[in-house]
Amino acid sequence: MKLEDIVMLLGGLALFLYGMQVMCRGLEVAAGDRLRSILEKLTSRRWMGVLVGAGITAIIQSSSATTVMVVGFVNSGLMTLGQAVGVIMGANVGTTVTGLLIALDIGMIAPLFAFLGVAIIMVSKKQRTICIAEIMAGLGILFIGMDMMSSAMSPLRDYPPFVNMLSSFSNPLLGILAGAAFTALVQSSSASIGILQALAFSGVIGLDNAVYVLFGQNIGTCITAVIASMGASRAAKRTTLIHLMFNSIGTVIFTFICIFTPFISLVQNLVPGDVPGQIAATHIIFNIVTTIILFPFGNLLAEATCRILPESSGSEHSSVSVVDEHGFGSTAIFIRQLRNQLVEMYALAQANVQLSFEALLKQDHNLLEQVTEQEDKIDRFNADIIRRIGKASMNEMSEQDSETLNRMLVLSSNIERIGDHAMNMAEYLVPLEKHNVSLDKITETELTNLKELAAKALSSIDIANSEQKEEHLKLVTTLETESDVLSTDYRKAQIQRLRSGDSDPELSILYSEMLTDVERMLDHTLNIAEAVYA
C-alpha cells in the first residue's frame, strides 16, 4: 500500500465523518429545541420511539449521535428511561440505512448531491432551506469519502499479511473484538461498517470473515455513549447500559446462529456475488431481528439496568452536559438545563423577598444573614447563565431558539434585580438599629400588605410553564399597578404622620426607600411575566 493510498484512505475517512457532522448540524439547527416537544409527543409509546429513533438516525447516518442525544435527554429529564429504550432500538435499525446506500452504490450521484446542497446554501437566505441543503450536501460528501476509501484499499487485496489478518476474523471472538475495537476508535459504526464494505468492494474480504467483525462493530458503537454518560445522572448511565445490553445480546444470538445454522450461506444466496450488499443485508437482519426479539422485553431491560445500577445517595439528575456544544440534540438539552437553572434561581429570589420582609418586621439578623447567603447564590446563577448563553450564541441555531435564549437572558437579569432589591430591604435593618428606630404598628401593617402582594405576584409566574398566558400576565399586571397605588398612598400617609409628629424622621426616609425597592421588585416581576407569557 503506497503512501498516496494511505493519504487517500485518511482523506476519505475525514470526508465520511465530516459529511455525517454536516448532516447532523443541519438537522440540529432545523429542529433545535423543538426536538423536545417532538420526542415528548412521539415517544410515549415504545413502538413510536422505535420509529423516531430509526428516522432520526437514518437522516443523520449516526446511531452514536442519536444515542448520545438520548443519554443527554435522559440526563436532563427531557426523556424517561422507558422512552429511551424504544429510541435506542430504533437507532440501531436506522443506522443500517448507511450500509444499504453504500451497497446500492449511489457514489455515482454523490457529487451531484454535494453540488446541489452547496449551491442551495450559497444562494438561499431561508434558514430552513439552508438546513435541508446541509443535510443533502453532507450526504454527498459522505459518499464521496466512501468512494475514496474504497479506491485507497484496493491494493490491500494483494498484500498477504493483511489478507492473512482478515482471514483470522473467521474466528468469532477475534472478529467481534476487532470490530468493537475499531469502531470504538473511530467512534462511528457507520464509518467502520463503511470501511468494512469498502474492503469488500475491493475484493479483500468476504462475508464469512466480515460477519463477526460486523457484530463487534455494533458493540463498539456503544463506546461513544459510554464516554458521554461519564459524570451524568444514574438514569443516563442506565440508558447507555441498555444500548450496550441490546447490541451485546444481539451479538450473542447471531454468533450462535452463524455457528450452528447456514445463516451466512443463506445471505450469500440472497445477495449473490455482492459482498457489500451481503454485509448490508446482514446488518439490517441483525438489527431488525434483535429489535423484534427484545422489543417485548423493553421493560425488563430497563428493570435490569436499575438493578445493575441502583439509586445512589446523590441527586438523580445531573447538571453536567453529556454532549458537546455542537452535538446533535445539544440545543434542546442546553435550553432545558438553562430553564432548570432559572427555576432554581427564581425560587431563591422568591424566598429572599419574603425573608427580607420578615427580617425587617422581626428585626432578625439571622434572617439577614440567610438573605445575604442566598443573594450570593442568585448572583452566581446569573453570572453562569449569562456566560453560557454568551457562549451558545456564537453557535449556529434557529431563530426560534435564539429568541428563547434572549428571553432567558431577560429572565435571569430581572430575577437578579429582584434579589438585589430584596437584599436592600433586609439591609434596612442595619440603619434602623444604628439610629435606634423601630417600626411603628401602621408601618408594620403596610409592609405586611406589600409582602403579601409581592408573594402573590411572584407565585403567579411559573418559569417552566408558559400556559394560560393571558390569565397570568393580566394578574401580574394588576398586582404591579396595585403596588404602585399602595406605595403612593403609603408615602402620603407617612408624610402626614411625620408632619403630625407621630413618626420618626429617620424612619420616614428609610421607609420611602423601602417603598421604592418594593415598586422595583414588582416592576421586575412584571418584566418576568412578559418574558414568560408574552
Structural domain range at position 38? 3-308
Residues 259 and 343 occupy one common structural domain: no
Residues 269 and 392 occupy one common structural domain: no
Q: What is the pLDDT of residue 486?
A: 92
Residues 250 and 176 occupy one common structural domain: yes
Which of these, 19, 12, 109, 112, lies nearest to 59 by C-alpha position?
19
Burial class of residue 114, CB neighbours in 10 A (0-12, 13-18, 19+): buried
Residues 389 and 520 occupy one common structural domain: yes
170-205: pLDDT as tens digits: 788 988 998 888 888 776 677 777 778 877 877 778
Secondary-structure breakdown of the chain: helix, strand, coil percentages, each rounded to the nearest 5: 80, 0, 20
Residues 384 and 513 occupy one common structural domain: yes
Q: Is residue 325 part of a domain?
A: no
367-381: pLDDT as tens digits: 999 999 999 999 999
CA distances from 119 to 14, 18, 139, 263 (A): 22, 18, 14, 46
Q: Is residue 323 part of a domain?
A: no
Buried b / exposed e along 286-310 (16+ C-beta atoms within 10 A): bbeebbeebeeebeebbeebeeeee
In the predicted structure, residue 49 carries a pLDDT above the cut 50:
yes
Q: Are 301 and 89 a contacting pair, CB within 8 Å? A: no
CA distances from 273 to 61, 75, 206 (A): 26, 46, 10
Bigger pLDDT: 323 vs 459 = 459
Q: Is residue 145 part of a domain?
A: yes
Residue with cell 430591604: 425
Residues 43 and 148 occupy one common structural domain: yes
301-344: pLDDT as tens digits: 888 888 888 876 544 444 444 444 445 566 777 787 888 899 99
Q: Is residue 188 part of a domain?
A: yes
In this prediction, residue 43 has a pLDDT band, given cuts at 50, 70 and 90, of low
Residue with cell 431558539: 401
Q: What is the pLDDT of residue 316?
A: 46
Q: What is the pLDDT of residue 320?
A: 43
Q: What is the pLDDT of residue 370?
A: 94
Residues 274 and 351 occupy one common structural domain: no
Tell me which of 308, 339, 365 is where a domain ends: 308
Q: Is residue 322 part of a domain?
A: no
Cell numbers for 371, please give them.
Answer: 438573605
How much of the chain exceeds pLDDT 70, in percent?
84
**Mean pLDDT estimate for the chain:** 82
DSSP-derived 3-state class of residue 163: helix
Q: Is residue 335 part of a domain?
A: yes
Residue 156 CA to residue 75 CA, distance in Å, equals 44
Cell numbers for 495, please give them.
Answer: 408624610
Q: What is the pLDDT of residue 333?
A: 74
Q: What is the pLDDT of residue 35?
A: 62
Between helix 34-42 and helix 3-31 the angle, nearest 10°, is: 80
Residues ≥6 apart with Cβ < 8 Å to 447: 357, 360, 361, 439, 514
501-529: pLDDT as tens digits: 777 888 888 889 999 999 999 999 999 99
Residues 84 and 148 occupy one common structural domain: yes
Cell numbers for 393, please give them.
Answer: 450564541
Taking residues 141-161, what's their average pLDDT? 70
Residues 173 and 261 occupy one common structural domain: yes
Residues 88 and 171 occupy one common structural domain: yes
Give the other-Cβ count within 10 Å of 269's Cβ.
Answer: 10
Residue 327 CA to residue 21 CA, distance in Å, equals 9
Q: Is residue 41 part of a domain?
A: yes
For residue 399, how far is the Cα from the chain centroid?
A: 18
Residues 194 and 229 occupy one common structural domain: yes
Give the range among 229-243, 422-436, 438-452 with minimum mean pLDDT.
229-243
Quote the DSSP letter at residue 398. -
Number of domains in the chain: 2
Q: What is the pLDDT of residue 327?
A: 53
Q: What angle do CA 21, 26, 28 make, to 5 degrees?
A: 90
Q: Is residue 318 part of a domain?
A: no
88-112: pLDDT as tens digits: 888 888 878 777 776 666 666 778 8
In the predicted structure, residue 84 carries a pLDDT above the cut 80:
yes
In this prediction, residue 167 has a pLDDT band, given cuts at 50, 70 and 90, of low
270-293: pLDDT as tens digits: 888 888 888 889 988 998 999 999
Q: What is the pLDDT of residue 420?
A: 94
Which of these, 393, 395, 413, 394, lies nearest to 404 by C-alpha position?
393
In this prediction, residue 18 has a pLDDT band, given cuts at 50, 70 and 90, of confident
Domain containing residue 467: CATH number: 1.20.58.220
Q: What is the pLDDT of residue 42?
A: 62
Model pTM? 0.65
C-alpha dihedral, 52 to 56 to 59 to 63, nearest 10°: -120
DSSP-derived 3-state class of residue 363: coil
CA distances from 12 to 54, 182, 479 (A): 26, 16, 64
Q: What is the pLDDT of residue 104?
A: 67
Residue 222 CA to residue 203 CA, distance in Å, equals 29
Cell numbers for 66, please give them.
Answer: 442519536
Bigger pLDDT: 138 vs 380 = 380
Q: What is the pLDDT of residue 321?
A: 44
Q: What is the pLDDT of residue 458?
A: 93
Residues 290 and 346 occupy one common structural domain: no
Helix/strand/coil (H, E, C) string of 474-533? HHHHHHHHHHHHHHHHHHHHHHHHHHCCCCCHHHHHHHHHHHHHHHHHHHHHHHHHHHHH
